[in-house]
Amino acid sequence: MSDPASAAPCETPALTHAKGFLTLPQFSVGLAILVAVAFMGVAFGWRSFFTRDFANFGYPLAYHVQQTYRAGEIPLWNPFNVAGLPFLAQWNTLALYPLSLVYVLLPLPWSLNFFNLLHLYLGGVGMFCLARRWMNHGAAAGVAGVGYAFGGLVVSALMWPNNTAALGWLPFVLLFGEQAARAGGRSCVRALPIMALQFLSGAPEITALTWTGLAILVLFAADADTVPACRRLGRLALVCAATVGLGAIQFLPFLELLGHSQRSARFASGDWPLSWSGLGNFVVPLFRTVQSRDQIFFQQNQQWVTSYYPAITILLPALMAIRAERARRVRLVAALTLATLLLALGSHGLVYDWLRKILPVIGIMRYPVKFVVPVAVALPLLAGYGVRAWFQNKIKISTAASLGIGVALLSLALLLLNQWRPATGEQPDAVWRSGLTALACLFVFGAALVWAKRTTTLEARWLSPLAPALLVFADLYFANRHVNPLVHPELLSGRMVKLEPQPGLDGGRVMVTSAAQERVDNFNFTSPEAAVLIPRRALLLNDNLLERIPKLDGFFSLYLPRAATAVVRLSRQTNSTPGGLLDFLGVAHVSRPGKPWEWDQRTNWLPLVAIVPRAVFLDPTNTLSALFSEKFDPRELVYLPPEAAAQSRNDGSGAGNILATRVSAHRIDATVKTDGPVWVTLAQANCPGWRAAVDGRSASLWTANYAFQALQVPAGLHEVRVVFRPRSFELGAAITITSLLAWLIWDGGLRRSDRRPAGTTQSNG
């Protein structure tokens, strides 16, 4: 639905051309060319992203998903990190996101790089379509599409495949969701798969912000709407509920893990808010930033996103829209921009703390700076309205010039302040270059707007709607060159760590000590290649997934608290901790604190499955203390919760052997022979979803040794099986299949109703 503003009567043929010239096919081709220009090496496989979370988080997760599916399994459980933890339920692993097939089927790492660029491209196309519908103006939509696709936040998000996917679908959700709320019927059917794709993308915070913004738009954006608000909201609620139904196969396991994880409404600490000085980055790209060891510029007070620079060439037309447009939609988007900026300031802006008291659930979102996501959407839309207002002669040249001069003076003032009092570690020369480059783009952008309005030659008409978008691209390209350094893709592939004996799923883990982790964290890399190779050889974060080597730590959003507590404490006390817990957890190699890429071998560690004759029943607090005492011998006893005592039949005299063990990611089979009742321990984290059976009969699986697993086996020869099959996944799969069938039936019914009944037509004759 476009705003009711029409073209001014004094429009020239060139201005009318600017309105209609840039169509979706033309923009789609042009945007593809710009993406190829900006990321040519990545697009053609010559180079790869690597910085920060891409190499150590996103890429290892994608590799694990690829390997698991190629092995014919669904990646429900991750046996390689933190002594095991749910994988699919993490949500940001993209295990069930349909477009993950790109990197499941195609070779890595190129396919993951392409996956990210594809969603950046989709985001730009979606923003163009949204702006074109709202504004009915090609040049305005082109500015909005390019401004969103290459904005600092979206480009920075390329290190997170899940966030990039969510941002890619965000404009489409606003476009199709609003249309569904207003039109109903087939529009709801069309909106459902679009919203489901973002829902499955694995970025719950971005999705929640998108849906909240969509609800506000549906209720308050239109200047005049014949559809009652309750009906609009009801249709939107129906589509959202159906989306949750389609995504239940992912959502229910996530909710189950969230309920058992370390993250709650009190989880957020308010870290990494946007600072008042950080607002300067909306005008000067590198204002108040310091350069990291990866040659990336960061604000010292927040390190979630490397850039949220929207382009000064976006900021000017956004101000023009606020000044010239009177449509309710423009005022609403401007108000949302201001509100979310205040929330992004965290405690600095006062609103965030007040809102957390009213809605404690906001605490699940860890960093307040994430509220800049709506700003990254709103500013390009406002800029589109500003460009349309310019071409429709709604704003005078003198007014636009005043706004441009004001923005330029603000930029110069920030540059002078930076030169006079630079922050510690700041590079004034780099800040000057970034600021002056942005000012040059602003000057050329203003000149291009004036030229586009005055040109009358037929030869130049095709360029007038393109010039503003191309200048926005130039502004963002020069400002964000530092955001994504690149390396040769071979550095991310292949095996680089060889250990003897080689740890595997059936036994043997490595442990990265806290001292080794700190050593690498503080290491000054001499080149981007070193920034990839050293963490890989040190098996930091999730790099062990690339080597298929189990280890005791990992980098994930959600953890099983007990297992994480034991692992963190163990990694900090390695030198002073007796070997009992290390042996139980199968630690075969420990990283050297001084040289984290080298490993010290241990002996006497236990395999994943072991037999223990005696149980001691303790509460969790005393169990944790006992595990770190010198008396703990995992070969002789296991600590169990007091409620297990009633079912215990062991007198401590039994003995036996594990005759055979077969271990995969989601299933453990063992053949056990004993001369009396014994306990079988499994050195993997216990959580809902694991089910045990002895000789095909269900058996109780207890939380043992504070966070791990044990079950009782009677005397004799027995087959023990432990399988990870969470009921939340099974129930979610049933709901998803039912919802999918309901959607197909709904769509088919609407298609049949749209067809005219067969029969002869009557003449009026």
Selected residue with higher pLDDT from 348 and 331: 331
The amino acid present at 515, given as its one-letter code, is: A
Selected residue with higher pLDDT from 547 and 300: 547
Contact 275, 299 (CB under 8 A): yes
The amino acid present at 599, given as its one-letter code, is: W
Contact 97, 199 (CB under 8 A): no
Selected residue with higher pLDDT from 564 and 9: 564
- Is the pLDDT at 586 greater than 90, yes or no? yes
* Dihedral sign for Cα atoms in the order 531, 536, 538, 540: positive
Tokens of residue 250, six digits: 């992912």
Collect all residues with Cβ–Cβ distance below 8 Å to 413 and sequence separation of at least 6.
none
* Average pLDDT of span 651-656: 79
Collect all residues with Cβ–Cβ distance below 8 Å to 650 and sequence separation of at least 6.
613, 614, 615, 676, 677, 678, 679, 712
Lowest mean pLDDT among 160-164, 224-228, 497-501, 744-748: 224-228
Which of the four pLDDT bands, split at 50, 70 and 90, describes residue 422? confident
Q: How far apart are CA 468 and CA 392, in angstroms?
A: 15
Selected residue with higher pLDDT from 500 and 171: 171
Mean pLDDT of the chain: 90
Going by the DSSP 8-state scheme, the letter that residue 746 receives in this structure is H
Q: Give the pLDDT score at 111.
A: 97
Which of the four pLDDT bands, split at 50, 70 and 90, describes residue 385? very high
* Average pLDDT of span 503-521: 90
* Dihedral sign for Cα atoms in the order 8, 14, 20, 24: negative
Q: Give the pLDDT score at 352.
A: 85
The amino acid present at 686, given as its one-letter code, is: N
Closest CA to 548 of 591, 513, 505, 586: 505
Q: Give the pLDDT score at 460.
A: 66
Which of the four pLDDT bands, split at 50, 70 and 90, describes residue 14? low
Q: Give the pLDDT score at 6.
A: 39
Contact 623, 706 (CB under 8 A): yes
Q: Give the pLDDT score at 218.
A: 93
Q: Give the pLDDT score at 654.
A: 80
Paired with 668 in beta bridges are 663, 722
Q: Give the pLDDT score at 265.
A: 53
Which of the four pLDDT bands, split at 50, 70 and 90, describes residue 765? very low
Q: Give the pLDDT score at 4.
A: 43
Q: Give the pLDDT score at 7.
A: 41
Q: What is the pLDDT of residues 707-729, one digit of tens each?
A: 999 999 999 999 999 999 999 99
Lowest mean pLDDT among 360-369, 439-448, 525-534, 679-688: 360-369
Q: Give the pLDDT score at 593.
A: 82
Q: 């709320």: which residue's tokens? A: 181
- The domains of the chain are located at 13-38+87-483, 503-601, 609-727
Contact 434, 286 (CB under 8 A): yes
Q: Give the pLDDT score at 426.
A: 79
Contact 322, 383 (CB under 8 A): no
CA 578 to chain centre: 39
Question: Which one of 36-40, 426-430, 521-525, 754-758 scores highest in mean pLDDT?
Answer: 36-40
- Is the pLDDT at 753 greater than 90, yes or no? no
- Is the pLDDT at 19 greater than 70, yes or no? no
* Average pLDDT of span 232-259: 95
Q: How far apart are CA 283 and CA 412, in angstroms?
A: 10
The amino acid present at 174, given as its one-letter code, is: L
Q: Give the pLDDT score at 188.
A: 94
- Is the pLDDT at 482 greater than 50, yes or no? yes
Which of the four pLDDT bands, split at 50, 70 and 90, describes residue 51? confident
Contact 679, 615 (CB under 8 A): yes
According to the 3-state scheme, what is the secondary structure of 668-729?
EEEEEEECCCEEEEECCCCCCCEEEEECCEEECCEEECCCEEEEEECCEEEEEEEEECCHHH
Q: What is the pLDDT of residues 25-48, one digit of tens each?
A: 999 999 999 999 999 999 999 999
Q: How far apart are CA 722 and CA 682, in angstroms?
A: 9
Q: How far apart are CA 108 and CA 86, in angstroms?
A: 23
Q: What is the pLDDT of residues 401-416, one digit of tens each?
A: 999 999 999 999 999 9
Q: Give the pLDDT score at 692.
A: 97
- Is the pLDDT at 480 greater than 50, yes or no? yes
Lowest mean pLDDT among 221-235, 338-352, 582-596, 728-742: 221-235
* Average pLDDT of span 299-311: 88
The amino acid present at 715, given as its one-letter code, is: A
Q: How far apart are CA 558 and CA 501, in angstroms?
A: 31
The amino acid present at 313, given as its one-letter code, is: T
Contact 191, 241 (CB under 8 A): no
Q: Give the pLDDT score at 226.
A: 77
* Average pLDDT of span 210-223: 91
Q: What is the chain's alpha carbon radius of gyration, rounded to the nearest angstrom?
A: 29
Q: Give the pLDDT score at 574.
A: 62
Tokens of residue 306, six digits: 């490397």
* Average pLDDT of span 146-164: 96
Q: How far apart are CA 270 and CA 345, in angstroms?
A: 10
Calculate what percentage of the chain has a pLDDT beyond 90.
Answer: 72
Q: Give the pLDDT score at 8.
A: 45
Q: Give the pLDDT score at 545.
A: 96
Q: What is the pLDDT of residues 285-304, one digit of tens each?
A: 999 888 877 778 888 788 88
- Is the pLDDT at 361 greater than 50, yes or no? yes
- Is the pLDDT at 757 greater than 70, yes or no? no
- Is the pLDDT at 448 greater than 50, yes or no? yes
Calculate what percentage of the chain has a pLDDT beyond 70.
Answer: 93
Q: 């014994």: which residue's tokens? A: 678
Q: Give the pLDDT score at 366.
A: 74
- Is the pLDDT at 570 greater than 80, yes or no? yes
Residue 615, classed as helix, strand or coil, is strand
* Average pLDDT of span 250-262: 93
Q: Give the pLDDT score at 760.
A: 45
Q: Give the pLDDT score at 749.
A: 86
* The domain made up of 609-727 is a member of CATH 3.30.1910: no
Q: Give the pLDDT score at 266.
A: 56
Stretch (H or E) spanning 232: helix 229-246
